[in-house]
Amino acid sequence: MIARKALSNPSIFCSKGFISWEQEICGFLKMETDERGRETVLAGSISDICKAWSISDIYNCYKNIRKRATQKRKFEVDDETGISFIDLTFPP
């Protein structure tokens, strides 16, 4: 039921309540003419999107955290069975 209502008026999820179609269209057109909106649409990667919104530093921080987390994984192979054991330790 909610999904059907969202098809007819996406502002159902807005915390301020419903907005009119005119306001919805005006908001869309503002985003469409905004330089960040165009760069987001043309982006080929998450990195490009972050550059458009000036949050590349946050992206790089999380990328480094993920890189360090994957480097800590230990792969052990049991000599008798040949089964590989992978120690997955997730960062806090």
Mean pLDDT taken over the chain: 81
pLDDT at 47: 92
Mean pLDDT of 9-30: 80
pLDDT at 55: 94
Domain ranges of the chain: 16-75
| pLDDT tens-digit map of 71-85 | 666 777 888 888 887
Higher pLDDT, 91 or 74: 74
Yes or no: say if 89 and 69 are a contact pair by the CB < 8 Å rule: yes
Burial class (CB in 10 A: 0-12, 13-18, 19+), 19: middle
Mean pLDDT of 29-53: 88
